[in-house]
Amino acid sequence: MKAVFFDLDGTLLDTLPDIRNAMNYALKAYDGESAGVDEVRRYVGRGLRRALSQAAAEKNPKGLDEDEFELMFALMVSYYEKHPVVETVAYEGIPELLSALKAKGIKLGVVSNKADRLVQIIIDKLLPDYFSFVSGERAGIPLKPNPQLLLEGLKEVGVTRDECIYVGDSEVDAQTGEKAGVETLIVSYGFRSEAELMASGVEISANSVEELSEKLSSLL
């Protein structure tokens, strides 16, 4: 193995509090109720637009037309871009894991369903200088579980599918890795609980960053 690629939210970083803050800012602007942490955890995984759409459907009893939703989404993204890392933190042990992998000459990458400009801001602030490839949602590239973004990353860093491990925290990531044809590890310390992952038929590889480190060491 020559490369390890990671999902961002729930895998490298606990971004849930800042996503919730941005979502609730937008919901309140349109007289919606605030979403709780567990609700936001359930919404996320397939991009911010879909997450807000689910939240708006549940939290805004009046409903929104298409133009209103687009304005709400723009408001959420604008707020998030101004407050990307107020409460967001790396999971304990992640910086050490990345440093150890990089010291071994392993190429590292990030592929996320979050808007690319937000991914770049957050990585630059919290985990700079680790990754050879960092990308979020970009025009013309479908969201995960479509494997296109992951495969593009592999090509850019110069490794094959057989030389890469992909790490994520959700059923979306499990599907992404399977469709890309790469070795995939799913963790349960992120946004999906062990019970939720098992209910989705997802095999769990690690329940903590420490276990993830051990698993990666056995494969590299």
Which residues on adjacent β-strands are paired with residue 177?
none
Length of the chain in terms of residues written: 220
Q: Where are the alpha helices (DSSP H) in the chain?
A: 16-29, 37-43, 48-59, 66-82, 94-103, 116-126, 148-157, 171-180, 194-199, 209-219
Q: Would residue 67 show up in a list of annotated catalytic residues for this protein?
A: no
DSSP secondary structure, 130-141, as one string: --SEEEEE-TTS
Contact between 136 and 114 (Cβ < 8 Å): yes
**Comparing C-alpha atoms, which of 185, 184, 202 is closest to residue 193?**
202
Distance CA 132, CA 156 (A): 9
Task: Report d(CA 202, CA 174) in Å as an integer.
Answer: 7
Strand, coil or helix: what is 14? Answer: strand
CA distance 199 to 7: 21
How many other CB atoms are found less than 10 A from the CB of residue 47?
A: 18
- Using DSSP bridges, classify how beta strands 89-90 and 13-14 pair: parallel, antiparallel or unpaired: antiparallel
Annotated active-site positions, please? 7
